[in-house]
């Protein structure tokens, strides 16, 4: 049995976000604008596939990315709105609740499934002056990597604050120990910063290229390791054939004549 390669959760989330971003970027854009008389939706589409659709009364849908995936989300939204409107009231179907359901579905697919959804969805709700609390128009945008963005925002801020406190503490300790030595060491920092910025522009594309090669190599190795069992099974074909030839075959039992039943 082949052992899976270890990949850090941060790298998995980053790869999924990059995969979904590229999938969304391949699609044509959609435009949602709020105007005086309602909400305007437009989509650039060279085929007959529809990116914009009505979900329920005053609630519309627009999707970008892989058509089969966001069209499936549109159908799920229609069923959700119909069931809620039938169970309660047509006025209880709200764009916010539908956007929350879409966000949960996209987030679950992003974190739990191997392949994330390559979609971005917009839910628009036209306001109604007769409904309290829903007089204004509302537009909700559901992105593919909301969970990863939240994680990056939280963990990056914590790491940045911890690193800043450590740096300030080290500088204060250096100045307290020896003022001249601290000034000499600090004078080198601008030069090091300039060198790092200059080489970062050259190293970043190379690093990305190396990571792509590493991912391809690991994929090939994984395919080879998973194919060992199949190769081993085909390699035992001659052994199984010899074993079958050596075993005696009871022809009488296999070709036994049926016992004639006496007439009743």
Tell me if 124 sits within 8 A of 41, measured CB to CB: yes
How many Cβ atoms are within 10 Å of 120's Cβ, its own excluded?
22
State the pLDDT at residue 240.
65
Chain centre distance of CA 210:
23
How many Cβ atoms are within 10 Å of 63's Cβ, its own excluded?
27
Does some domain include residue 4? no
Tell me if 95 sits within 8 A of 121, measured CB to CB: no
Distance CA 172, CA 176 (A): 6
Judge if 139 and 13 occupy the same domain.
Answer: yes
Distance CA 154, CA 146 (A): 12
State the pLDDT at residue 58.
87
Does some domain include residue 262? no
Judge if 155 and 139 occupy the same domain.
Answer: no
State the pLDDT at residue 105.
85
Does some domain include residue 172? yes
Judge if 139 and 192 occupy the same domain.
Answer: no
State the pLDDT at residue 112.
81
The SS3 assignment for 70 reads helix
Distance CA 252, CA 245 (A): 17
Does some domain include residue 203? yes
Judge if 158 and 134 occupy the same domain.
Answer: no
Judge if 33 and 60 occupy the same domain.
Answer: yes
The number of folded domains in the chain is 2
Judge if 83 and 187 occupy the same domain.
Answer: no
Does some domain include residue 251? no
Q: Print the domain residue range for 191.
A: 151-233
CATH at residue 36: 3.60.20.10
Judge if 136 and 30 occupy the same domain.
Answer: yes
Judge if 138 and 156 occupy the same domain.
Answer: no
pLDDT, tens digit, 9 for 90 and up, residues 99-151: 888 888 888 888 888 888 888 889 999 888 777 767 788 888 888 655 555 55
Distance CA 59, CA 91 (A): 11
Q: Whole-model pTM?
A: 0.54
State the pLDDT at residue 172.
86
State the pLDDT at residue 1.
46
The CA distances from residue 94 to 41, 82, 112, 200, in Å, are 18, 12, 27, 48
How many Cβ atoms are within 10 Å of 27's Cβ, its own excluded?
20
Does some domain include residue 197? yes
Does some domain include residue 38? yes
State the pLDDT at residue 44.
79
Where among 99, 126, 143 does a domain terminate?
A: 143
Judge if 73 and 170 occupy the same domain.
Answer: no
Where among 119, 143, 167 does a domain terminate?
A: 143
Does some domain include residue 97? yes
Distance CA 63, CA 40 (A): 14
Distance CA 150, CA 146 (A): 6
For the four alpha carbons of 43, 106, 109 and 144, in that order, the dihedral sign comes to positive
Judge if 132 and 35 occupy the same domain.
Answer: yes
Judge if 192 and 67 occupy the same domain.
Answer: no
- What ranges in the chain are assigned the alpha helix state H? 9-25, 67-87, 95-112, 146-177, 179-187, 189-235, 237-246, 251-254
Residue in the block written with tokens 């609390």: 133
Full pLDDT tens readout for the chain, 264 residues = 455 566 677 777 778 888 888 888 887 888 888 888 888 888 877 666 678 888 988 899 988 888 888 888 888 889 999 998 888 888 888 888 888 888 888 888 888 888 888 888 899 998 887 777 677 888 888 886 555 555 555 556 777 788 889 888 888 888 888 888 788 877 887 888 888 888 877 887 887 788 777 767 766 666 666 555 555 555 556 666 677 676 655 444 454 455 454 454
State the pLDDT at residue 252.
47
Chain centre distance of CA 254:
57
């Amino acid at each position: 049995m082949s052992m899976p390669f270890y990949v850090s959760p941060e790298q998995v989330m980053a790869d999924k976000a990059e995969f979904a971003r590229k999938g969304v970027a391949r699609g044509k854009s959609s435009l949602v604008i709020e105007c005086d008389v309602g909400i305007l939706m437009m989509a650039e589409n060279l085929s007959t596939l529809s990116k914009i659709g009505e979900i329920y009364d005053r609630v519309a849908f627009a999707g970008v990315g892989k058509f089969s995936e966001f069209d499936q989300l549109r159908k799920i939204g229609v069923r959700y709105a119909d069931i809620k409107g039938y169970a309660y009231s047509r006025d209880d179907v709200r764009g916010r609740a539908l956007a929350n359901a879409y966000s949960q579905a996209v987030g679950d697919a992003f974190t739990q499934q191997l392949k994330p959804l390559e979609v971005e969805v917009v839910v628009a709700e036209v306001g109604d002056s007769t409904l309290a609390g829903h007089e204004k128009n509302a537009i909700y945008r559901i992105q593919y990597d909301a969970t990863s963005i939240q994680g990056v925002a939280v963990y990056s801020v914590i790491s940045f604050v911890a690193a800043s406190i450590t740096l300030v503490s080290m500088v204060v300790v250096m100045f307290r120990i020896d003022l001249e030595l601290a000034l000499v060491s600090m004078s080198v920092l601008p030069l090091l910063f300039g060198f790092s910025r200059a080489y970062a522009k050259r190293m970043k594309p190379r690093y990305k290229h190396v990571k792509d090669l590493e991912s391809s190599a690991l994929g090939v190795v994984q395919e080879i390791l998973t194919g060992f069992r199949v190769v081993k099974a085909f390699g035992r074909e001659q052994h199984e054939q010899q074993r079958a030839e050596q075993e005696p075959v009871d022809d009488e039992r296999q070709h036994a004549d049926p016992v004639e039943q006496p007439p009743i």
